[in-house]
Amino acid sequence: MKDVSEWPCISIVTPSYNQGQFIEETIRSVLLQGYPNLEYIIIDGGSTDNSVEVIKKYQAYITHWVSERDNGQAHAINKGLKISTGSILGWINSDDLYAKNTFRRISQELHENQTAILIHGNRILINENSEVTGWSSLPPFEPATGLFNVCSETTFWKRTTMEKTGLLKEELKFAMDLEFFSRLYLRGKFLKLNDYLGYFRCHRSNKSSIIYHIGQEEALKEWRVIFGNDYCIKMSQPNKLTLLKAMIENPYQISLPYMSYKLSSILN
C-alpha cells in the first residue's frame, strides 16, 4: 500500500483528564506516526490543569477535540468512538504512548490477515520521566489461561466487529477494557504480534497502579459473565504454569481476572 487512498483510515481516541504533564508526549506519539490517513480525537473531561492548553497547541492537527465534563473514562472513549469514521480503531490513554511506525504495521498486518478482527502486541514499561523500566512480552490472549493481556496502547480492532458487539460499558471504572475486548474475542480471530507497539506509563496516579486493590472484583465479575466460572477451576497444568510465570515476571503489568484467586489454588 503506497498511495494514500490505499491506506485505511485509523481512528484514535484519547480520553483525557488532568494528565497535563504527560498528554503532550501522548499526542506527539500519535501525530508523529506519519500515517497518511489518520483521524485523531481527544475527549477531555474538563481538566483543570494545563491539559487543554497543550491540546490547543496541536489543535490544527487534531481532527476533533472537546473539553467538557463527562461520566468517566469509558464514557469519554465512547464519545470519541461514536464520532469516529475509521475502519480501524484504537484508544490510547493520555499518559501512554505509541511506538514508532505502529500504525503502518497494524494497517499492513490487517491487510494481509483479512480474517483477523483485532490485533495486539507487546508493551514497553516507562516511568514518570519516560525512562524504560521493563519489557512486557506475553502470549496470545487465551481465556483458558486466566490471563488478560490485551493492552489498549497496543491494540487495534475493526469497526465492523464493534458495530456488532457495541461500545464500552460506561458503568465500569476499571475493567472496561477487559470486558470490551473479551466481547470482541467471542466474535472472531485475534492476531498477536511479537512487536512492541506501545509504551505503558507506570506512575502513582494511574488506575492500573491501584486496580489490584480496587478493581479485581469488577474484573472477576465481568469475566464470569462472558466466559463463565470454569476456566480457572479446570485450568490445565501447563496453563497454570503460564499464569504463575506471568504473575512472577510481570507484577502490576498485566490484568488477571482472578487476581483475588489464591496463589495456592493455582499451584494445586
Confidence of residue 244 (pLDDT cuts 50, 70, 90): low
pLDDT digits (tens, 9 = 90+) for 174-191: 899 999 999 999 999 999
Among 178, 154, 180, which Cα is nearest to 166's? 180
The alpha carbon dihedral of 199, 204, 207, 209 has a sign of positive
pLDDT score, position 267: 41
Asked if the model's pLDDT at residue 26 lies above 90, the reply is: yes
SS3 125: strand
Reported as a single tens digit per residue, the pLDDT across 44-64 is 999 999 999 999 999 999 999
With bands split at pLDDT 50, 70 and 90, how would you rate the model's confidence at 259? very low
**pLDDT attached to residue 227:** 86
pTM for the predicted model, two decimal places: 0.86
Specify the 3-state DSSP secondary structure of 224. Answer: helix
Is the predicted pLDDT of residue 206 greater than 70, yes or no? Answer: no
Residue 157: per-residue pLDDT: 99
Domain topology for 4-267: Spore Coat Polysaccharide Biosynthesis Protein SpsA; Chain A (3.90.550)
Contact by Cβ (8 Å): 259, 212: yes
Domain boundaries, the chain: 4-267
Residue 223: pLDDT above 90? no
Cell numbers found for residue 219: 474484573
Burial category of 266 from C-beta neighbours within 10 Å (exposed 0-12, middle 13-18, buried 19 and up): middle
Side-chain half-sphere of 119: how many Cα atoms within 13 Å?
A: 26
Average pLDDT over residues 5-14: 94
Beta bridge partners of 65: 42
